[in-house]
Structure 1
């Protein structure tokens, strides 16, 4: 199945200069496990729940910590026409649980391992 058929098109991103508590609240409000870090609608990183946990463990005052300090900047993206199995394979190899979806280089959504697993296990 193509990523264009399964990705989540709602775009919940953040900026690298935002503070972690703001981002954590946005993730909780939107019930998502990761946000793309964007600059001019281009993906420059990803911040995840795991990154937030690491920051909480390492920093006594996360109120002052910026997204850029904990976001993953080694980012891969998925395209709409890509096969879901190919994307799942790339995510497994890289150790990602979330991958931004782009069209012509611009962020349009996110796909998660949970989304890909649902496609593989769903039977009509």
Structure 2
């Protein structure tokens, strides 16, 4: 199966000036573990994850003051929609992360997460 068949297209997007609390609220409302951060002045598309928010709060940073821009991961590994889910899983293992932004050129198509890959593998292993 290819990434475009397994990815989530319900992507949360936010700007660099959103606070961590706002980012967390948006992710919580949509029941996702990451948000795409589009900063027109940044180097491209970044990502902020629940882990980034947790690390900031765990070090006593104020989620109402801290901006997403200061917690973005810019060195994102992007997946192509034509990758297999096995290729996506291997990239996640190599990089030690749980989300891949799926790009087609400069266009964000979605995000594939470990949860999405497990869902595919369980469906394949256990026929309906």
TM-score (norm 2): 0.87
The CA RMSD measured in Å over matched residues stands at: 1.6
* Larger deviation, residues 21-30 vs 57-66: 57-66
- Distance in 2 (CA, whole Å) between partners of 1:90 and 1:114 is 15
- The structural deviation recorded for 1:81 is 0.8
Q: What is the match of residue 114 of structure 1?
A: 115
Tell me the residue number matched to 1:28.
28
Runs of 4+ aligned residues of structure 1 deviating over 4 Å after TM superposition are none
In structure 2, runs of 5+ residues without a counterpart are none
Where in structure 1 are there 5+ consecutive unaligned residues? Answer: none
1:23-75 Cα shifts (integer Å, max 9, x gaps) = 110011000011111235x9521111111111112234221111121121110
Q: Which structure ranks higher in relative contact order (CA pairs < 8 Å, sequence separation ≥ 6)?
A: 1
SS in 1 for 2:64: helix
Q: Give the length in aligned residue pairs.
A: 123
TM-score, scaled relative to structure 1: 0.90
